[in-house]
Copies of this chain bind each other. A is one copy, B any other.
Amino acid sequence: GERLFSASNQEIMAGWTTDIYFIKTREILRAMGLDGTEVTAEIFAGREGVLAGVPEVKTLLAGTGVEVWSLPEGEWFGEKEVVMRIHGPYDRFGIYETAILGILASSSGWATAARKCREAAGNKRVVCFGARHVHPAVAPVMERAAIVGGADGASCILGAKLAGQEPVGTLPHAVMLIVGDTVEVALAYQRTMPQGTPVIVLVDTFKDEAEEALRVARVLGKDLAAIRLDTPGERGGVTPALVKEVRARLDQAGYNHVEILVSGGLTPERIQLLSQAGADSFGVGSYISGAAPIDMTMDLKEVTGKPVAKRGRIPGITPSPRLQRIL
């Protein structure tokens, strides 16, 4: 049958996802007898952020024999700061330029967005729900980067595993619609899930959230860990006033132990407002997964030991005391 269009690890390692000009470069340098020229390359970032993707770069370059220095995974870097340096014969790593930059640019973009959510949420829980906006081949890359940036967990199975965690999540609107009643689903969830699984119930499918939250709390009692508010824009979205009122109605009815998980178009600004209103945890989607990549540039700064640079850049190695040898 047909294949998916994403590249496998083997295809990437073999250089199949590189820009064609690095292949041409290798041929020309060979023809000129310059393919083994020792060079030093530096990678710097177009804007500040959190570095992510270093272990994948290490995997890519592990067998090439080049020397690599890098900022640590998860470190904050400044605009134009050098985040990685590679030294060795050019033909050992030139064909990986496209892949290395792509890994760092996209992973750091995701990690940086997660960091901003982390800061907005203080000590409260941030979970990445963004897998549905990216291709499944990179969903685990994205979720792992989000955890590097500061998310507490992720909903995609492989992404959570790669970060050494269990995936987290509740139930979608679909199951509610198939069963036809939120309370019935909640009871089935309680019966079916393994002992210890926290019961979190989505309460905006059929009824006003405050009403449904109380219905569910009445049947599950102490077994209800949290309710989830994911109110659609057509009903005003999740607002501070909604969170405050649901909190108050739960408390007045004696359900102070039930936490409130919010989701739907969250940004750092909205996380902060909803947290002040009483939300306990935050499911963040497109703010993380749709974050723009952070432009990464690789420049040759030395060729056979002599400082070089193209026009517009300063020749020679940039002093970067925070870099650490990783290969």
Number of A positions contacting B (CB below 8 A): 131
Q: Which residues of B contact A237 (CB under 8 A)?
A: 236
Q: Would you list which residues of chain A between 161 and 178 have a CB under 8 Å from chain B?
A: 162, 167-178
8 new A-B contacts, CB < 8 A, other than A7-B137, A8-B137, are A4-B60, A20-B168, A234-B241, A235-B242, A235-B312, A245-B313, A249-B315, A292-B292
B144 touches A131 (CB 8 A): no
A311 touches B232 (CB 8 A): yes
B9 touches A3 (CB 8 A): yes
For A6, A173, A315, the residue with the greatest tally of chain B CB atoms inside 10 Å of its CB is A6
Min Cβ gap A155→B in Å is 4
Whether a CB of chain B sits under 8 angstroms from the CB of A326 is no
Whether a CB of chain B sits under 8 angstroms from the CB of A37 is yes
Whether a CB of chain B sits under 8 angstroms from the CB of A107 is yes
Whether a CB of chain B sits under 8 angstroms from the CB of A282 is no
Chain A residues near B (Cβ < 8 Å): 1-9, 11-12, 15-25, 27-29, 31-32, 34, 37, 39, 41, 55-56, 58-60, 62, 90, 94, 97-99, 101-103, 105-107, 129, 131-141, 144, 155-160, 162, 167-180, 185, 188-189, 191-193, 204-208, 210-211, 231-237, 239, 241-242, 244-245, 248-249, 252, 286, 289-290, 292-293, 295-296, 298-300, 303, 307-316
Q: Which residues of B contact A290 (CB under 8 A)?
A: 292-293
Min Cβ gap A245→B in Å is 6
Q: Which residues of B contact A9 (CB under 8 A)?
A: 3-4, 6, 8
